[in-house]
A and B are shown apart, each in its own frame.
Chain A
């Protein structure tokens, strides 16, 4: 996994060189960027044993104000969404059944409590025929704002890691990463994405996670280790722009001895891998002069975003060296 981390480091490294050698100066500036054409964004997942959940939103001006209400307003609540021809149910956050609250909350990134105050509608497949199953193809079609969007994904076969464990980082007595051993099948283009969720202990200094979070470098493909058994390591996933003490400073990205967490390991399609890889690459580059600006590769015809199938397994780990 370090290999995948290093490819980002490669670019960042040169930036470090500059910072080291010269006293560069940074300041806030005003930029007048005209808003581009509004496009529809799909954020849809279907996971083994779960119904399909689709959120539809519109692109917004880059510097437009972004309050919770602004985000809520960018979601589309009058669309017609179908998976394999079956119409999904529109369920809005003010009337969301408890079992879907966590899923929708995870997709939007707004906590379950905050969801109650906003009206955001998700499209959920309540039909039992749509519960995610391994090795099944799912076609998505959307009619919204006078536009037609479509996408296809597949829930691949579940590939579980052989073993999962916590390991201290370097000489640190306290913090570490999660590692797993993976035996990759001897077929090319097996792609993976992982998430972590800390479930205990829960105290002010060390709160549990509401949701599953994917760390930077969460996705990878068997291009370089097809059919081999490899050891891969990951940092801890955390919410975007988190202000929790554990997500900032020295603790950021680490598990601490005593943590209990769930390691969610999923197989995804190559198209989903390309989306999340370019998504993470963009997050990592963040306007760096050493990276060429590039759009995230979408698998949605007629719009932006992702329609991803996940085949997931879960392991609960206690951080003991």
Chain B
């Protein structure tokens, strides 16, 4: 690692030396890029010169600034959804050029990725994908529910755990290794109904960007990925709304200016009504007569434009899942609920068109509650994660260097599986309630610069620290798991602390205007861990911080990629390879029982190990034309080695997937109809099956040998959808001219028809074994059974806006 740190400083200093040399010869080009219609700034727009390919991306306020050598160039500015701007320019020595550009919007006709065509070739970024909501809304959706996380899972290197699992996996990492940021606040559980729907209401989302492990220094905290989700600002011009009525849920978004030109609001809500729909069909006397399930979520955002380039926003998310089982035939009653409460506030200010200050403060509260009762016995289990987080960042340009300096501080308070049980007013002794308090902090510095016209670098260093503090009671156990002693820590007493350096390094070598080679190295520490109770990610899984027992996870990723555009950028292609190592991963010990954490520390139930993952991702993406879409293919391997699992032998991770293929196509048939389809193929999930059995008390006992040595059947599925947009205009006579004119209707509508699992593939959800009969009369038989969740499912959704 020291070699890498030295390399970083070498390039960093070397880059600075270049500034003085270049400053005298190069020409400064600066200005802003705006939407020609609304005059709103366009952050993230791309501007570059051909043939040098020097250029920049606009900052949060739509401003850009870069230097180039004197000469004649074709300047191109572009932004997704807008017409390209092209202009011939001539740069002479010791001059500067200010150019404010307005881009005219075009109608988004099909699948588009928010990365301009040459940007992928030019930037140092690799392992990054960004999706616009327009892209996501065109794709077929499960039961008509447009889903951001499900769409991300169609990108190469990202794997879904299949139906019925909340988790997704990036480049062989675990489900806890994905940092999901919602307006810069952390989301701990991003799914409703055990993963069938994500918590993000598509109507309230602006964009999503995914970093697959190769992340810039400003991001950290997790090993595998960062998913940066930005909520939409409200409509600046007029009060408007949009929504949809679907088979299982409906949603409504209202937005508009509060004070025109200064402030806006957006509020969006969604609720399922499967419980209300099902109720008439379930007899009151049936076992499910008194049971129900629903989820809801509510998004809100307020934005203010302040004087002198300042901006302020407040954003919030509230969502819950609620399930109750209250059978008239049983004395057993239960209520299970989980959900997130998130509040985030941000302030940004631009100084001298050259530097930007961004501040963000957020609160996240994720909680899970189980309440079960039978007769006069009652059991309650509660888990929750409460984070207070502050994140400042200052970015500025220094010559050709694009610098970022910032930090992050989080105060974590985690309660894992706190239980209470009582019978007839008598409390069971379940020990002290456990609460883990900790501080997590990081500072970082990064520099992106073009060394020459062909070499571009981005280097960064992130220093992170973590401290687990009291009050806390540590239970000391002997080798048989018996409690032998306890240690009590006082308030704010240091129990364990860690420090880690996280160097990041990305290099791009431009082969020509159509292709480039990139390589990157990333080292990350992760201080918060998710202990999975089952092979599937469930809301019952428990988050735990690093402690004196749990060491921080350490990940290193090496990647190399070749990027090439064909047909004048119409087809973007890339091949990326990666190899990563992961240390100090956590798992529950074999045979851990739910009650083992009672009167004990939850982290005493864990065991620790390492993992490696490697693979190749191929991405072919057609961005322009009536037919758009992509093919993403990943060939990969992910392995784990734990001393106390599988007798110390290396085994495939549950989500190890040799082949993973996604085909996404959208075709604009005419003005009214757009057709789209997805095809997904993935190698079957790795599972553990009993390899032999024996009898105890005449009952078959399973004897497992190799962990995850079997594969379920391969997963594949085809989804289709058709979007019908009726003529949303009407003809009126212009009272002034008397001519017929087309006027937009007050309510614009769109119908989405989709079919999930078109050829009714019965993909396995899980396998189990059924034993029946008796050996004595030769009727004893063990049969394997496969449970599948979803057959072919058609759906229709009506979307509207006004």
Contacts and interface: CB of A to CB of B under 8 A. Distances in A.
Interface of A: 2-7, 9-11, 13-14, 16-18, 20-31, 33-39, 41, 43, 57-63, 66-68, 70-71, 74, 106-111, 114, 169-170, 188-189, 214, 223-226, 228, 230-231, 239-241, 243, 270, 277-279, 281-283, 286-297, 304-306
B695 A57 contact: yes
Given A25-B791, A59-B692, A239-B698, 8 more contacts: A2-B374, A11-B594, A29-B767, A57-B694, A170-B330, A223-B598, A224-B599, A241-B780
Interface string B775-802: 1111011111111111100000000000
B710 A7 contact: no
Max chain A C-beta neighbours (<10 A), residue from B370, B694, B783: B694
26 contacts: A2-B374, A7-B593, A10-B370, A17-B325, A20-B293, A21-B293, A25-B791, A27-B786, A28-B785, A58-B694, A62-B691, A62-B769, A66-B775, A68-B775, A68-B778, A109-B697, A239-B698, A278-B591, A281-B591, A281-B593, A286-B769, A287-B769, A289-B535, A289-B765, A294-B591, A304-B703
Interface stretch (B300-308, B421-429, B721-729): B421-429
A153 to B, nearest CB: 15
Contacts of B691: 33-36, 61-62
- Nearest 7 CB-CB pairs, A to B? A109-B698, A287-B768, A36-B691, A289-B766, A36-B705, A59-B692, A293-B688
Contacts, number: 252
A110 B776 contact: yes
Contacts of B700: 240
A107 B697 contact: yes
Contact of B696 (A14, A74, A306): A306
Contact of A20 (B291, B698, B787): B291
Given A17-B293, A60-B693, A224 B164 contact: no
B552 to A, nearest CB: 24
A62 B698 contact: no
B325 A16 contact: yes
Given A224-B598, A225-B429, A288-B768, A24 B776 contact: no
A36 B775 contact: no
A59 B375 contact: no
Interface string B316-346: 0000000101000011101010000000000
A228 B790 CA distance: 49
Interface residues of B, number: 90
A6 B374 contact: yes
A280 B777 CA distance: 25
A225 B590 CA distance: 25
Contacts of A107: 697
Interface in B538-585: 538, 540
Interface of B: 164, 193-194, 274, 288, 291, 293, 323, 325, 330-332, 334, 336, 370, 372, 374-375, 377, 379, 381, 421, 423, 428-430, 480, 482, 533-536, 538, 540, 588, 590-595, 598-599, 687-705, 707, 710, 762, 765-769, 771-778, 780-791
Nearest to B790: A22
A316 to B, nearest CB: 23
Max chain A C-beta neighbours (<10 A), residue from B688, B702, B707, B789: B702
A62 B693 contact: yes
Contacts of B690: 33, 62, 293
A239 B697 CA distance: 9
B756 to A, nearest CB: 12
Contact of B784 (A14, A22, A29): A29
Contacts of A283: 699
A214 to B, nearest CB: 7
Max chain B C-beta neighbours (<10 A), residue from A20, A26, A231, A270: A20
A7 B697 contact: no
A48 B286 CA distance: 47
Given A24-B765, A31-B767, A277 B705 contact: no
Contacts of A169: 331
Given A16-B325, A28-B784, A29-B784, A241 B771 contact: yes
A156 to B, nearest CB: 16
Contact of B762 (A6, A27, A67): A27
A95 B789 CA distance: 53
Given A25-B788, A290-B534, A170 B773 contact: no
Contacts of A295: 590-591, 702-704
Contact of A3 (B428, B702, B765, B788): B428
A226 B429 contact: yes
Contact of B766 (A10, A38, A189, A288): A288
A225 B701 CA distance: 30
